[in-house]
Amino acid sequence: MVLLAVISSLALFSAGIIVLYKMKKAWLSVSLFVLTLLAGAAVLVLAVIGSIQWPERTGRVQESGPYTILYRDGEGELADEVSAALHEMEPVVSGLLGEAPEARLTVRFSDRLLGEGVAYQSVGVYNWKTSTATLRSGISDWKSVLLHEYVHYRSHQYQALHGTPPGTIPQWFEEGLAMYVQHPLPPADPNEVEISRDLREIGTRQDFLAALEHTDVYAQSYFAVVQLIERYGKESVLLLMNSSSQDQFYARLEKLTGKSSADFSGSLMNAYRKDEEQMQETVKQFHDRLFKDDFEGAGQVLAAWSAAEGSRTAKEVEDYQHILLLHAGEWKELMYRLEQKRASRPYDMRFLDYALLAELTLLFDPEHAYGVVKEAQARITEDATSSHFINQAAEPYEWIAGNDPSEDYRMLIEDDLFFNQEIKEALFEKWQEDYPDETWWERSGKR
């Protein structure tokens, strides 16, 4: 643009000089020179103004940490929710891609998604040049779409930080990774997904979008990344993302899986279905033994279950280990494990984890039980039944940490605010010993 302005100015200036000489008015050439300079500068200023991406006319801006949220008048609440959601997503994605970078992300809503290579049915798009995630206005599942675009942003930042040349990471891997984080459950029925081509053929954005017209390449990409993480651990993501060329990416993929990219692509849906069947069989064996109170046998089933580090299966195995500890009555160990999970992966804590941890803490360390409930209250917001239970229990739990816990134990009993029947009975026994002169624990009518 600068070059164009200079060349056209020079051309006009020369033409002007020639005209002036012909008209024998050469003394005007100084004014002509000044005039040309001014005109050139004006063109440049206009060009710069034109190249700026202005927020929408009614744009308002909210800054929160590394995030800039552009929103319209009257959408302040939405902007607050977006900002809170981004801060929640951060540690989840850090668990996969390492620490969050300092670089900024801009999030905006728009009625139309413009840009190169945006599929027409898209509800979100991430622009690598401007680090901007644009979501379609008015979509109800914006959080899920934001999470998808947020993964693109973090992947982009990771590559920028590690000097990965643009275009090195195949598009199917980028989309698969975003889909993996976005969808805790498969976005498509694995029995209906078939992969007939080498994923390498949808490595570029253009090829990926072209393929999208006749097959669900997003679902295929999802299952490819699931396969990599479930079989080879979450470390495989960083190993592949650290490649310095596409050839290196595929060489690493081949080394990791022991298959060419064509074989990996062609076999992965069958492998996925086989792994699923195997998993169901293992879970069945575990429950069979647990049902017979064969805790040792159930523990052996879990010990033999090999799950790659950081995979979803590994988290599932961990959940079954907790169930085993609960049934085997190893509650102190269970409390310890849940505390560990709470400290290292708070974003993975679910209602069940909090409910068990709160009651175990009430049993072994009552003064700290309210802290658990308070945290659950702040984090468990999605499920109405769970939040109702937590909110009800919050008040007595809060008072238990105070001066006269026996009054508040009574409150728990009267409203029967217990989650696990066995822990409840243990609590009653403990209270009976701690307060031998009281009778309130008897009035529950549950014993």
Which residue's structure tokens are 């909210």? 62
* 418: nearest Cα among 393, 445, 447, 384: 393
Which single residue brings its beta carbon nearest to Zn ion?
A: 178
Shortest reach from residue 399's CB to Zn ion, in Å? 48
CB closer to Zn ion out of 160 and 326 = 160
CB of 195 to Zn ion, least distance (A): 18
84 burial level (CB within 10 Å; 0-12, 13-18, 19+): exposed
Closest CB to Zn ion among residues 156, 410: 156
Binding residues for Zn ion, rule CB under 5 A, total 2
CA–CA gap between residue 33 and residue 97 (Å, rounded): 57
Question: Which lies closer to Zn ion via its Cβ, residue 79 or residue 217?
Answer: 217
Residues 86-105 that bind Zn ion (CB under 5 A): none
CB closer to Zn ion out of 178 and 324? 178
Supply φ then ψ for residue 39, to 5 degrees: -65, -45
Q: Is 447 helix (H, G, I), strand (E, B) or coil?
A: coil
Whichever of 205 and 259 has its CB closer to Zn ion, that residue is: 205
**Among the candidate windows 172-180, 323-331, 333-341, 367-375, which touches Zn ion by CB under 5 A?**
172-180
Instruction: Give the nearest distance from C-beta 95 to Zn ion in angstroms.
Output: 19
- Any contact of residue 226 with Zn ion (CB under 5 A)? no
Question: Closest approach of Cβ 387 to Zn ion, in Å?
Answer: 31
Q: Residue type for 9, please?
A: S
Q: What are phi and psi of 349, to 5 degrees?
A: -70, 130
Binding string, 174-193, against Zn ion, x = CB under 5 A? -x--x---------------
Query: What is the rounded distance in angstroms from the CA atom of residue 30 to the CA atom of residue 26?
Result: 9
Sign of the dihedral defined by the CA atoms of residues 79, 81, 85, 88, in that order: positive
Which residues are within 8 A (CB) of 293 and not within 5 positions of it... i.e. 6 or more apart?
A: 327
Minimum CB separation of residue 182 from Zn ion in Å reads: 9
Site string for Zn ion, 49-88 (x = CB under 5 A): ----------------------------------------
Report d(CA 363, CA 368) in Å as an integer. 10
User: What are 136's strand-pairing partners?
Assistant: 110
Distance of CA 21 to the CA centre of its chain: 70
What is the pairing mode between strands 132-136 and 124-127? Answer: antiparallel
Of 3-11, 167-175, 236-244, 384-392, the segment contacting Zn ion by CB under 5 A is 167-175
Q: Give the residue with the Cβ less far from Zn ion, 193 or 426.
A: 193
* Shortest distance in whole angstroms from residue 10 CB to Zn ion: 46
Stretch that binds Zn ion, among 31-39, 52-60, 86-94, 170-178 (CB under 5 A): 170-178
3-state DSSP assignment of residue 147: helix
Name the site residues for Zn ion (rule: CB under 5 A).
175, 178
